[in-house]
């Protein structure tokens, strides 16, 4: 009898191990390998190298990423969510590229993923493999200059970036704040920017983005400034992740203005109005800046608190990462973001990103402002 039990047990166990590579339980051993490689700092360079393979097979198909996705609930489409995208990669499906492009790259699903699968990186790599540049030409970059390049090294250079040039209220407020704090600064791209390169990278154009990055780096390092100040979280993230600037501290304006306030270089009076804060994806989830904007707002107004803040905050829907969604679908994402921060209960919705500002302003009937604008108005 004992022999029969032993043999049944051994056969069942062998059958389990033999069928493991073909079953959904393959994620159990793969996950261990993936976590070891990830902690060793390894990164993928193509969507199916050894590391990416361990990542793809670590997905347990739990589906938590579906519930987290703001575009999934807005568009009623699930096919592009991380679980299906990763499955398409695993099965070498022709749909993988389309799923990679059908995503706002907001990163909320990655926060929800218990395995920590970097689906954004996998999507970037998948897009790179099929990127067609058409008539793209960046030869002009070798002679490109900034008209406002400083002659003497300033304390700080301000790079507004393309999106901030489309929301002039932000850069005008920043300039006022810098003047008020007597900062020795130069507004480097006052007359227009060479793009930071991130829109190209998230579209799959890393190779072409390298030239933009190189040219910007040469110019910025050549100024001798100690601080590079940025207003756009999209720029901020790529400068931090890809530029490796030597001897220059990279700061988002929420961090720099909070520092000026801490050092009493600017003083703020608390206004008699309430404000709720929307975390931009690239500043919050992307760069982990959550505290400084809230510190500034608490000094300038009555800051409201709500449940889904920080890492699980909603995307505004304005992301540059996909051209596959309609205006209405993006609008639903924006409205859900406004609901999640209880925008109706506050006099002002604050954010710290020019793209979020533009997007949320379309869908909210009360004031939406950047923190730099609020601080500028509350300075004494
Ligand atoms: S990155 Fe954002 S939009 Fe894309 S699948 Fe994840 S949660 Fe959805
Ligand atoms: S949350 Fe992570 S592990 Fe779960 S299905 Fe999505 S990608 Fe896979």
Whole-number pLDDT of residue 134: 67
Residue in 251, 322, 312 with CA at minimum distance from that of residue 278: 312
CATH code for position 97: 1.10.1060
Measured in angstroms, how far is the CA atom of residue 184 from the centroid of ligand 1?
41
Asked whether residue 264 is assigned to any structural domain, the reply reads no
Which residue's alpha carbon is at the smallest distance from atom 5 of ligand 1?
A: 81
Atom index in ligand 1 nearest the CA of residue 107 equals 1
- pLDDT grade for 177, boundaries at 50, 70 and 90: very high
Measured in angstroms, how far is the CA atom of residue 116 from the centroid of ligand 1?
14
Which residue's alpha carbon is at the smallest distance from atom 2 of ligand 2?
A: 113
Q: Is the ipTM of this complex over 0.90?
A: yes
CATH code for position 345: 3.40.50
Residues 143 and 255 occupy one common structural domain: yes
Residues 144 and 255 occupy one common structural domain: yes
Cβ atoms of 88 and 100 closer than 8 Å: no
Asked whether residue 215 is assigned to any structural domain, the reply reads yes
192/346: higher pLDDT:
346
Asked whether residue 366 is assigned to any structural domain, the reply reads yes
Residue with tokens 């890809």: 242
Lowest-confidence segment of 3-17, 110-124, 227-241 by average pLDDT: 3-17
Asked whether residue 374 is assigned to any structural domain, the reply reads yes
Residue where a domain stops, chosen among 230, 259, 288: 259
Average of per-residue pLDDT across 176-182? 97
Residues 121 and 183 occupy one common structural domain: no
Q: What is the mean pLDDT of the chain?
A: 92
Residues 24 and 109 occupy one common structural domain: yes
- What is the domain range of residue 191? 139-259
Residues 299 and 346 occupy one common structural domain: yes
Mutate which of 107, 286, 311, 322 to test ligand 1's pocket (most atoms within 8 Å of Cβ)?
A: 107
Residues 156 and 125 occupy one common structural domain: no
CB 82 less than 6 A from any atom of ligand 1: yes
Residue where a domain stops, chosen among 209, 225, 259: 259
Asked whether residue 134 is assigned to any structural domain, the reply reads no
Whole-number pLDDT of residue 303: 97
Which residue's alpha carbon is at the smallest distance from atom 4 of ligand 1?
A: 103
CATH code for position 173: 3.40.50.1860
Asked whether residue 12 is assigned to any structural domain, the reply reads no
pLDDT tens-digit series, residues 36-69: 888 888 877 777 778 888 899 999 999 999 999 9
Residues 27 and 125 occupy one common structural domain: yes
pLDDT tens-digit series, residues 289-298: 999 999 999 9
Residue where a domain stops, chosen among 129, 161, 183: 129
Lowest-confidence segment of 19-23, 240-244, 256-260 by average pLDDT: 19-23
- pLDDT grade for 29, boundaries at 50, 70 and 90: confident
308, two tokens? 């889904």
Average of per-residue pLDDT across 283-311? 94
Asked whether residue 125 is assigned to any structural domain, the reply reads yes
Residue with tokens 């050092």: 263
Strand, helix or coil for residue 30: helix
Residue in 97, 94, 87 with CA at minimum distance from that of residue 125: 97
7/303: higher pLDDT:
303
CB 106 less than 6 A from any atom of ligand 1: yes
Residues 209 and 254 occupy one common structural domain: yes
Lowest-confidence segment of 18-32, 259-273, 344-358 by average pLDDT: 18-32
Residues 251 and 192 occupy one common structural domain: yes
Per the structure, how many domains does the chain have?
A: 3
Angle at 82 between CA 81 and CA 88, to 5 degrees: 95
CA 337 to chain centre: 16
Asked whether residue 3 is assigned to any structural domain, the reply reads no
Count of beta carbons in the 10 Å neighbourhood of residue 269: 11
Residues 255 and 275 occupy one common structural domain: no
User: How far apart are the C-alpha atoms of 366 and 335, rounded to whole Å?
Assistant: 13
Angle between helices 206-222 and 119-129 (to 10 degrees): 110
Strand, helix or coil for residue 336: helix
Measured in angstroms, how far is the CA atom of residue 105 from the centroid of ligand 1?
5
CB 74 less than 6 A from any atom of ligand 1: no
User: How far apart are the C-alpha atoms of 336 and 74, rounded to whole Å?
Assistant: 8
- pLDDT grade for 135, boundaries at 50, 70 and 90: low
pLDDT tens-digit series, residues 73-115: 899 899 999 999 999 999 999 999 999 999 999 999 999 999 9
- Please report, rounded to a whole number, the percentage of residues in the chain having pLDDT higher than 70: 98
- Helices and strands counted in the chain (H then E): 19, 8
């Amino acid at each position: 009898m004992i022999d029969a039990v032993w043999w049944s047990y051994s056969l069942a166990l062998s059958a389990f191990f033999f069928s493991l590579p073909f079953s959904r339980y393959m994620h159990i051993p793969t996950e261990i390998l993936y976590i070891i490689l990830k902690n060793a700092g390894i990164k993928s360079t193509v969507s199916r190298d050894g590391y990416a393979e361990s990542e793809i097979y670590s997905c347990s198909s739990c589906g938590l990423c579906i519930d987290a996705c703001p575009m999934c609930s807005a568009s009623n489409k699930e096919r592009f969510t991380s679980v299906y995208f990763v499955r398409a990669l695993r099965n070498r499906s022709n749909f993988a590229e389309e799923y990679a492009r059908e995503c706002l790259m907001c990163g909320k699903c990655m926060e929800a993923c218990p395995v920590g699968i970097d689906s954004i990186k996998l999507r970037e790599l998948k897009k790179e493999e099929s990127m067609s540049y058409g008539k793209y030409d960046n030869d002009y970059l070798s002679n490109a200059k900034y008209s406002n390049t400083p002659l003497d090294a300033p304390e700080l250079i301000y790079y507004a970036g393309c999106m901030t040039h489309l929301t002039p209220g932000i850069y005008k407020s920043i300039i006022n704040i810098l003047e008020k704090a007597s900062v020795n600064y130069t507004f480097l791209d006052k007359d227009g920017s060479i793009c930071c390169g991130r829109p190209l990278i998230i579209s799959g154009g890393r190779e072409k983005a390298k030239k933009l990055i190189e040219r910007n780096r040469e110019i910025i390092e050549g100024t001798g400034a100690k601080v590079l100040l940025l207003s756009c979280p999209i720029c901020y993230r790529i400068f931090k992740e890809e530029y490796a600037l030597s001897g220059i501290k990279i700061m988002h304006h929420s961090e720099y203005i909070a520092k000026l306030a801490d050092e009493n270089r600017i003083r703020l009076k608390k206004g008699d109005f309430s404000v709720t804060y929307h975390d931009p994806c690239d500043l919050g989830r992307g760069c982990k800046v959550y505290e400084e904007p809230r510190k500034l707002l608490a000094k300038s107004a009555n800051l409201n608190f709500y449940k889904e803040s920080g890492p699980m905050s909603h995307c505004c829907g304005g992301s540059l990462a996909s051209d596959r969604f309609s205006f209405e679908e993006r609008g639903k994402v924006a409205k859900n973001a406004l609901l999640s921060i209880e925008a109706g209960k506050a006099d002002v919705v604050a954010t710290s990103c020019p793209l979020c500002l533009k997007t949320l302003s379309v869908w909210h009937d009360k004031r939406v402002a950047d923190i730099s604008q609020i601080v500028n108005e509350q300075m004494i």
